[in-house]
Amino acid sequence: MKPRIGLMFAGQGAQFVGMGHDLAEHSPAARRVFDEADHILQRPLSELCFNGPDESLTDTANCQPAIYTVGVACWRALEEQCGRQLEPKICGGLSLGEFAALHAAGVVDFATGLRLLDRRGQLMARACRETAGAMAAVLNGAPEVIERVCRNCDVDLANLNCPGQTVISGEQQSIAKAVAALKAEGIARAIPLPVAGAFHSRLMATAAAEFEPLIARAQFAKPICSVVQNRSGQPTVDVGTIKQNLQEQIAGSVLWEQCAREMIRRSDLLIELGPGTALAGFARRIDRSFPVLSVGSLEQAKNAAAKLAENQP
């Protein structure tokens, strides 16, 4: 019996200069994705992915469409290596990665997802410039303590990534106060993050509001498989729900641990697509025995295709 495949797409923070370069050089399917992105955006996004500079690639307005493009290129390269169109059972993505997941699930074509994400990145970058935001990673803290400190310090829970890793987000002074309060509670590893602003917090409310009409007008199709969404942590095939969750996600919490648990429950194998291996790491923190593959390079695409071939009836 064919394994039920779950797809996970990388989010912001996974980017690095050179991502996708070997795919574009050796995979015609991936090369077409990069060429299409450059044509749609009318700027050399592929050059930025391959050669940087890092400062420009890290900028939210560039980073979001860049990671989306690499994630889709990885997916196309994997299918090319398999010699067939793959049929995922469930798809999900971390924050911006949700757009690539929607593409893989047949909800949006590549161009629609890219244009939406390009605008999302611009709106979030502007919100960062207009506010004094910050984020911090909290490691190995009791959830009830983290939630209480967030309430007391007036900051938001941004990402619940996996057991032992939570990210908080808010005003710079409030985050500094929260980090101090967490350490006073005995949570020594509360680490400020080098980010441009307070993503997934109330400081992104203006970006979320401006993004709403763009999502409302966008052409979405019914997904070919379940899509698990960051905002709810639950799978859905309802287009209205998908759109609402995408809009709310910008200023709301990312419930990635719940997403990953749902994907593990509904699949036999998870494949992470895009730069980095963070999502594979989160999955292993949840269930160390569950099989997870990462595809961010041509070699990894070949290895994943070989693994899938082993499980063909």
- How far is it, in rounded angstroms, from Cα 70 to Cα 77? 10
Active site (annotated) includes residue 39: no
Let me know the angle formed at the C-alpha of 141 by 138 and 145, rounded to the nearest 5 degrees.
105
CA torsion 131-211-208-244 (nearest 10°) is -170
Residues across the chain: 313
> Which entry of 27, 95, 174, 294 is annotated as an active-site residue?
95
CA distances from 111 to 35, 100, 137 (A): 12, 11, 33
Based on the residue annotation, tell me whether 95 is a catalytic residue of this protein: yes
| 35 neighbors 25 (Cβ within 8 angstroms) | no
User: Listing from the earlier edge strand, what are the strands of the sheet with 292-295?
Assistant: 235-236, 226-228, 90-93, 5-9, 269-273, 292-295
Q: Which of 21, 27, 169, 200 is catalytic?
A: 200
Give burial (CB, 10 Å; 0-12/13-18/19+) of 212: middle
Our CA angle for 86, 75, 257, nearest 5°, is 95
- Kindly state the tokens that stand for 175: 């985050």
Where do runs of H (alpha helix) occur along the chain?
A: 21-26, 28-41, 45-51, 54-58, 60-82, 97-104, 110-130, 143-153, 172-184, 205-217, 239-249, 256-266, 278-286, 298-310
CA distance 96 to 11: 5
Measured between alpha carbons, how far is 78 from 98 in angstroms, rounded to an integer? Answer: 19
Strand 90-93 with 156-162, pairing: unpaired
Give the active site residues.
95, 200
